[in-house]
Structure formats: structure tokens, C-alpha cells
Structure 1
Amino acid sequence: MKKVMLLLSVLSLMLINPATSISSAQDNQSSALLSKLSKTYKTYKSVKATFTIDVKNKQTDVGVKQSGILYQKAKKFRITMSGQEIYCDGKTIWTYLEGANEVQISKFDPKTMDINPSEIFTIYEKGFIHKYSGQVTRGSQKIDVVELTPIDKTKGYFKVKLGIDKMANKVKEMSVYSKNGMVTTYDIQKFEPNVAINDAYFKFNPKEIPGVIEIDLR
């Protein structure tokens, strides 16, 4: 469960909101990029993002790579990855583990997390000092990189590098640098805004999975 919550915290970093950052500490180039990005994301009613995640220990150079799909609508989200599915309707969070055929049910409290998963594409809007750190090339794409430093030093991470496709005005990648030496990098393979999603899609339905064991932790 701890590993799952870490995943949610990192994913939620991708929903940032720059408008309420400490403006006196920011540079104009990063402010312009983030402001434009924020305005675009705020027009979306819902989001579907296909991503890969690469978790690597920088000291040992050992890593794990996975792929997944994120659906997000207002305060609700659903994440599908190999062997597990995470549902949240904004009040309750269900973590289904396929191998054990069990679902853990918890009250969703964003205050207990470093970052709220329902804000995955607007996280930069508050709680960060940001600066422009240059441009990199990914295939034929030019990616502008903005470095984010959390104002709250009790967070489990000390730096986030946000890669922005300036032409498409979308988040392309994000790397989160944790204090324990782990670096988690997300690469957005496909991004689809305003997809039609019923609210019921964000709730776990035990009737759909025969024999599932329910563990209520609320």
C-alpha cells in the first residue's frame, strides 16, 4: 500500500498550478510556460493519459519500468497498471491487487499525501519555486525543462523536473527526485483531453470481480 501511495503522490505532481507560486522567486521564462500550460489544462473537463514510469536508484543504477493509464475528472481518478488498479471517487480510494484478488478500501485524504493525485496535471500551481533550466531533444521534439523546488521541506522529494512540449503546450515528461536517492520519471506517451467518462468508472464494483476479498481500512 505504501508503494501505491508513493505512485499516486508522484503522478499527482503532473497536475500542477503555477498561479499561486511565490512569484518573486520565479524567472519570467518558467512563469510564462507554466501560466500558459495552466490555462490550457483548466479548460479540460477530463483527461486520459497513457504513460510509462521508470523508477531508478541513482546509487545502484537499478531500475524498474512499467506502463499505465490514468483517467482523471475533477477530484476523481483511476490508474491502471500491471497487476493493480486504483480507483478514487474523491471520497474513497480502492486499490485492487490482481494477484491476491483483493481490494483495499480506504478513506481518501489528500492531506496525508505529498501531492493530491486528482491534481496530476496542475501541481505546479502552488507550493513550488520554479525556474527555467533549458531545452532538451526527445526524438524530433524540443522539450523545455522547468525545475520545481517544493517550498515545504518536509516533502519526500526535493526537486521535480517538468518537461513541457512548448509547441503542443502539454506536459511530456516529469522526473521526481526523492530524498532516498530514487528518481521516478514519467513519460506521457499519449494525452487525450475531454474524454467521456461516467462517474461510476471511478468506483470499484466488487460484483464485477467474482470472489474478490474486500479489506476495509476506513
Structure 2
Amino acid sequence: MKKKTVLMGMVMFGMAFSTMAQTKTPVGSLGQNDPKAKVVLDNVSKKFKSLKSVIANFILKVEGANNSVTDSKKGSVYVKGPKYKVIMGEQEIISDNKTSWTYAKDVNEVTINNVDQSNTSMTPAKIFTNFYDKDFLYRLTGESTEKGKVLQNIELTPTDKSKTFFKVLVDVDKKNSTLARMKVFEKNGNKYTYEISSFQPNGAVSDDLFTFDAKKYPGVEVVDLR
């Protein structure tokens, strides 16, 4: 289960930004943030915070050091305030902001944990908000056009140089101020691209979606780690 849990963690966009180290280099000693990039990122955060819910589909692409695509998977994420549900293949991660459930359909097993309430934990909701201000330097590198959409391109560099990744590229839909794509560059040469294929604001999302009902999964094995 450990390997699958790590994979789903990446799907939640937490792989790149999970638990920051305690010791960081002061931002001022590394350089200054680009005010133009901050405006773009702040608009994304403001837009997301104004929504009651979000339903998004995404594609996760994993590339090896030789730039060949070694894996590609589709998934969906549902977000309502701090609550979320991520579905990819035969796996799901569900959280009501108090309890989290990680379900593996292939083995019919669910692992239950308490939600980490610390500010350092990363969730799908946080990736759309101002996760960038304290832990990254950022700059606007330009604009590009894809499929008729103008994307604002931003490069983020972690202030904690002990992280396994050294750069994150973020593309923002200029018209809608929504996250379109994020690409994480690891020091070992691997790259992880999270591409939002559809983004539905204020979609109908029931609170029942953010809890795991074992009665609906006959014979499920429960691993309670709380």
C-alpha cells in the first residue's frame, strides 16, 4: 500500500509541497519576488476562495530523466472548502477535514487517518490558494497560447534547498485566473506534470461525497491508524 499511497499523494498535488523543512534560507538573501507574478498568483487564490466548490479533471504525467513519458494517468478532484475527494484509477483519497480515508479498490482496503491540521500540510484546496508566499521565490517568465487560451507562465523556486525538487513551472489561464498546469522538476531528473483538463466552478457537490461509507464497500478491510 505504501507505493500506491505515495502515488495518490502526488495526485493531490501534495508531492511537491508537502511538509516544509524547519530551517529555510531567508527569502531576502536569495532574491526578490516578481510583483507581476504575485498579482497573477494572488488572482488565482482570490478566484478560488470566492467559489463554493470546484470539480476538476486532470492528467498526471510522469517523465523519466531522458524526457520520455513513463506513465500517464487521468483523475478527478472535488473540493468544497477544506474538504476534498481525489479519484484516480482504482484509488481514492477522501477528507472531511477531520478524517482522511485512502481506499484501494484492487485490494478492497481503506486506511483511515486523522487530518494533519498544521499549516505545513498540503491539500488540493491549498494548491489553488496562496501556498507560494512563504516557501517560494517566483517570477513571471512570459505568456504562451495553447488551444486558444493565453497562459501566464510563472517559475517558482523553493527557498528550502534541501527539497527533492528545484523548480516548479505554473501556467495560469489569463482569462479565468485558474490553474491550468503545474510541472515539478526533481533533482534526480524526473518531472511530474499535473494538467487540469477541465475546471467546473460551483458544481453540485454533496457533503456526503467527503466521507467514506464502509457499508457501500462489502468486505472492505479497514486499517484504522488514528
TM beyond 0.5: yes
Counterpart position of 1:150: 158
- Correspondence for 1:88: 95
The reply on whether 1:164 has 2:162 as its aligned counterpart is no
Question: Deviation of residue 188 (structure 1)?
Answer: 0.9
The Cα RMSD (Å) is 2.4
For the 8 Å contact 2:16–2:184, the answer to whether it is kept is: no
For the pair 1:135 / 2:143, whether they are aligned, the reply is yes
- Whole-angstrom distance in 1 between the partners of 2:151 and 2:45: 17
Q: How far 1:114 sits from its partner (Å)?
A: 6.3
Q: Which moved more, 1:64-73 or 1:109-118?
A: 109-118
SS in 2 for 1:124: coil
Q: CA deviation at 1:158?
A: 2.1
State whether structure 2 residue 125 is matched by structure 1 residue 121: no
Contact 1:10 1:176 in 2 (8 A): no
TM-score by length of 2: 0.82
Q: CA deviation at 1:130?
A: 0.7
Counterpart of 2:9 (choices 5, 21, 24) is: 5
Overall identity of the aligned pairs, in %:
35
Q: In structure 2, the residue corresponding to 1:44 is in which secondary structure? A: coil
Q: Deviation at 1:83? A: 1.0
- CA distance in 2 between counterparts of 1:113 and 1:178 reads 20
The secondary structure found in structure 1 opposite 2:85 is strand
Distance 1:10 1:56 in 2: 18
1:55-81 Cα offsets, whole Å, 9 max, x none, are: 111236242101111011121110011
Q: Which runs of 5+ in 1 are unaligned?
A: 14-21
User: How much has 1:36 moved relative to structure 2?
Assistant: 2.1
- State the Cα deviation string for residues 14-46 of structure 1 (Å, max 9, x = none): xxxxxxxx6971123212212222222221121
Deviates more, 1:116-125 or 1:181-190: 116-125
Runs of 4+ in structure 1 over 4 Å off:
110-114
Cα distance change of structure 1 residues 118 and 12 upon mapping to structure 2, 3 Å threshold:
farther
Structure 2 unaligned segments of length 5 or more: list them: 18-26
| Alignment match of 2:104 (pick from 97, 104, 108) | 97
TM-score where L is the length of structure 1: 0.85
Paired with 2:119 and 2:72, the residues of 1 have a C-alpha distance of 26
| Corresponding letter in the other structure for 1:146 | I
- The 5 A counterparts of 1:69-84 are 69-84=76-91
For the residues of structure 2 that align with 1:2 and 1:81, how far apart are their CA atoms?
Answer: 13
| Deviation, structure 1 residue 52 | 0.9
SS of residue matched to 1:50:
strand
Question: Paired residue for 1:197?
Answer: 205
Aligned length: 210
Q: CA 1:113–1:125 in 2, change beyond 3 Å: closer, same or farther?
A: closer
Does the 8 A contact of 2:61 with 2:69 survive in 1? no
Contact 1:12 1:117 in 2 (8 A): no
In the TM superposition, what whole-angstrom CA distance separates every residue of 1:117-172 from its partner, at most 9, and x where no partner exists? Answer: 33121133442211011222322222111011122334332221110111222111
Give the Cα separation in 2 of the matches to 1:68 and 1:5.
12
